[in-house]
Structure formats: structure tokens, C-alpha cells
Amino acid sequence: MAYLFTSESVSEGHPDKVADQISDALIDNFLAFDTESKVACETLVTTGQVILAGEVKSTTYLDVQKIARDTINKIGYTKGEYMFDGNSCGVLSAIHEQSEDISQGVDRGSKEQQGAGDQGMMFGYASNETENFMPLALDLSHRILKVLAELRRENKDITYLRPDSKSQVTIEYSDANVPQRIDAIVVSTQHDDFDEDDAMLSKIRKDIVDILIPRVVADLPEAIQALFNDDIKYHINPTGKFVIGGPHGDTGLTGRKIIVDTYGGKGAHGGGAFSGKDPSKVDRSAAYATRHIAKNLVAAGVADEVLVQVSYAIGVVEPMGIFIDTYGTCAFNMTDGEIAKIVSQLFDMRPFAIEDRLKLRAPIYSETAAYGHMGRTPETVTKTFTQPNGETITLDVELFTWEKLDYVDKVKSAFGL
């Protein structure tokens, strides 16, 4: 019997994502001037206020207030009527030095012997139902909000948009787990005030259905385009007026959108957030490494769908173990346990090895903090950072290295494919 599956996404202007982006902007600035920085930074945003807290061990000094304000302005909170804008909000910093009790378990005489920054389990997932090996419902949810943000910045076809928004996509699957059609799409977008509520709701619905959705569909592969139909149930701003939003409408916290950040409810999640953490924290680095494994396994043809789990003890170099689940989709006669054994030999999952393999000690994290950490396109970009004393550094960095298919040939060779 057919079934429905739903995933959601939130925009860069959502309060929790504002917090994530500020935390990751701090990470990038610390790593730009001191690649060995150890940082765990949390951000809270609310009406007219930003509160920064966390632990840092670094040789560099930053103007954290300016970094927070620049991030908020870049997102689009630039008007006093939003009750939260980068130029006028208060910024309180309660960042202090990292605990020596933690650092003694992580820092070792040899980088190769670096221990895990915390205990826990991390998951990576991949499926061949999309070209980027992501779950389709989440991929579409992200795309809707990316295009909505483009329209907001263009301020041409739709001129009333504000930064806060959410999306949700429900897909009907067959018994064979193949997408059949889009059943429902939800879009809630913050907007400027209108003179008349009914006219406002009618215009927003028309613009989303007639302008936003066709622009999203136009960039999709034909097979995915075919899933869109005239029977889709659209819920556009279903509660009605959405003028009060962003951190004024809802307090935001770092790390509160971990399912949006990963796989939209497909696969599994270990529970640890990513943003605000340097790569010695395996909550982040190992989650990227397991995604890298899962994606390369699926791309190599080992299985149609793969879940990878790794676990650690704080201060211990080697992981507790690697678990693989192919959901019965393995392409050949091999158990998931046998696959896991080969994977553990092929991918070095010690914390420093992950950092080194995926080039994680670089300022690459601001770009991860909205629209998902997984399923993105690897690229090299040039970034410039400035310290309070005027010192400037320009770096070429590789983004989303864990999305590279650079192990496909190694995987094929290891599995005799």
C-alpha cells in the first residue's frame, strides 16, 4: 500500500538558523586566523538581543559583536520595524576559555592520536532517489526556501517578503519505496504588513503557486518534475497573517534544527548539533564523515540506500565501531556486517584522520548553517577575514568536501564492483 513521507526546511531568516549562522561565522573567523582553535559557541537571539556563550581555546582575538551584526545584516534583518536588526540589536558575549579537563583528552603529543572531543554516535545517510543522493522531500523543501530567498533579494517579482520562512513537502511513495507524486506543499513566509488581510492571503498564495513553485520545478530533473501535478494540496501561510517573525516572533537557539540540517527524518540522527563546533567535536566531523561514506557507497553501486553509524568515547582515538544498514538493497550477496568490516578498513575514522581527509580545519562552516549540511555542491571559494587590529587574511577554501565522490573507485575496488 502506498504511503506518505514528509520533510521540512527552514530559511536562513528563521530564528534558529540565525543563531546557527552567527555561531558558524564565529567558528570561521577563529579558524581563519588560528587553524588549531577549539570552539564550542552557542547563540541565542530574541527581540533586539543576541547572546553569545561558549568555550574557546585560540591564539586569535575577534570582535564577536561585529561578526554577529554582519551576519544578521547579511541574512536581511536590516530594518528597525523587524524589531531585530544587525545595526541596532544588543550583543552580549559570555564566551570563556575551554575547560582543561576536556582539552587534555583531545590534545595529544601527536595529532594522529587526537582523542574524540565527546562521546556519542553519529549517522550518515544516502539514497539514490535524487541526483545529490538526498531524500527527495527534504531536497525539495530546501530548494523551495532557497528560491524564496532569491526572490526576496531580487525584490522584483515578489516585493513584500521578509527573511523568516518555513517549507514542508509530503510525497507519496509506492510499496517499492519509489516516489509517485507530490501530495502536499506547505510554505509559511514572513511578509510586510498589508492593508487588507484577505487580499494579502490571496496574493501570497498566488505568488507562491504561480511564481515560486514553477521556478523551483524548472531546475529539477525531468523525473522529479513529473511528480508535480495539479492536485497538489497547497497550504500557504495557513495561520493567516505572518508579519511578526524572526527573532522578534520566536526566540532562536543554536542547534535546534538538526533534522533540517541532516536528512529530514530519513535514516537516523545521533542527537548532536553541528553549528558552533570546531571539527574536533565528532558530533560534527564524524557526521560529515559518515555522510561521505554513505554517499560514496551508494554512488559506487553497493546499495540503493545506506545508513552508516559510528560511535566514540571522549578522549579515545579509535571509534567504538561502525554499523551499516543497507535496508535490504545491497546489490550483491554480502551482509551489512561484512560491508561494515570493509568500510572500517577503507575509511580511517580517527578524529584527526577525518579532519585531514575532509579538510575540516578551514573556515568553511558559514555556508553549512542554512539549507542543510548535506546534499550540497562541493566548490572552492575565496574568503576574506579581518581582525579588530586591521589584519586581513584571504584564503581559498573547499566547501562541502564530504559531498565529494572521491572514494567511488576505491569502494568499487574494495567490493570487486
**Which distant-in-sequence residues (6+ apart) come within 8 Å of 338 by Cβ?**
none
Where are the strands (E) in 33-130, listed by range? 38-46, 49-57, 90-97, 120-127
CA dist 123 and 269 (Å) reads 6
End-to-end Cα separation, the chain, in angstroms: 34
Longest Cα pair distance anywhere in the chain, in angstroms?
67
Which cell numbers hold the place of 271?
542527537
281 is in an annotated binding site: yes
Quickly list DSSP for 305-346: EEEEEEEE-BT-SS-SEEEEE-TT-BSSS--HHHHHHHHHHH
Are residues 286 and 318 in contact, defined by beta-carbon separation less than 8 angstroms? no
Which cell numbers hold the place of 296?
560514496
257 is in an annotated binding site: yes
CA dist 393 and 89 (Å) reads 28
CA dist 125 and 291 (Å) reads 6
355 is in an annotated binding site: no
165 is in an annotated binding site: yes
55 is in an annotated binding site: yes
219 is in an annotated binding site: no
Let me know how long the chain is: 417
DSSP state of 116: B
94 is in an annotated binding site: no
97 is in an annotated binding site: no
277 is in an annotated binding site: yes
**Which distant-in-sequence residues (6+ apart) come within 8 Å of 150 by Cβ?**
none
119 is in an annotated binding site: no
DSSP state of 1: -
CA dist 39 and 299 (Å) reads 34
Other Cβ atoms closer than 10 A to 32: 23
156 is in an annotated binding site: no
CA dist 284 and 276 (Å) reads 9
42 is in an annotated binding site: yes
Are residues 73 and 32 in contact, defined by beta-carbon separation less than 8 angstroms? no
103 is in an annotated binding site: no
273 is in an annotated binding site: yes
Which cell numbers hold the place of 26?
564565529
17 is in an annotated binding site: no
Query: Which residues are documented as binding site for K(+)?
Result: 42
Give the residue numbers of the binding site for ATP.
14, 164-166, 241-242, 250, 256-257, 273, 277
Binding-site positions for Mg(2+):
16
Binding residues for L-methionine: 55, 98, 250, 281
Which residue ranges are tagged as binding site? 14, 16, 42, 55, 98, 164-166, 241-242, 250, 256-257, 273, 277, 281
